[in-house]
Amino acid sequence: MSEKIGLEKLSIATDRGYIRIDGNCRTNVPTVFAIGDVVPTPWLAHVASAEGAVAVETMAGVETYPLNYDQIPGCTYCHPEIGSIGLTEAKARERGHEVVVGKFPFSAIGKARVLNDTEGFVKIVSDKKYGEVLGVHVIGPSATELIAEAGAAMKLEATAQDLVRTVHAHPTLAEAIHEASEAAANGHAIHI
């Protein structure tokens, strides 16, 4: 992490070996920034890259926005693939949300059948009161690609109903997101 790199000479604050930063990746020393594996955020290349952009924009005096670490996608490259973003059902409940869940299997998706890769499902966790999508979890074909749609939806504070009203091309694997949204927003998917 950050031991033995001279931080103490600059009086840079650490916590359990990690450099402490604010939302703009600035340390307690205003002219020193830190990103990536030395800060207590997910150890993912795409996180460090996004943190780097925030840090440089801050240094340049450009308007920037702190990262929402609840909206960082995680991908596991295995078979079936796993893509996940946002809160799990349990974490959403723990944070006080009344949760609605929609789930849809890839076995009911035509494109998955054509690919002969029908294992897995899409699960959408949304807030019951407002419908906001709190998390999306995909296990199945191209999960690491499909999770990007969920990231955009969450960044834009989309509801499950917004995803239902987003026309998804047929036949595609992304239809599983649409169907899971139907289950979350309306209590049932249409094509099962």
What are the catalytic residues?
170
CA–CA distance, 34 with 36 (Å, rounded to integer): 7
3-class SS of residue 186: helix
CA–CA distance, 192 with 187 (Å, rounded to integer): 13
Sign of CA dihedral 169, 170, 173, 175: positive
8 Å CB contact between 124 and 183? yes
Distance of CA 166 to the CA centre of its chain: 19
CA–CA distance, 182 with 162 (Å, rounded to integer): 10
3-class SS of residue 123: strand
CA–CA distance, 51 with 36 (Å, rounded to integer): 7
Q: What are phi and psi of 21, to 5 degrees?
A: -135, 160
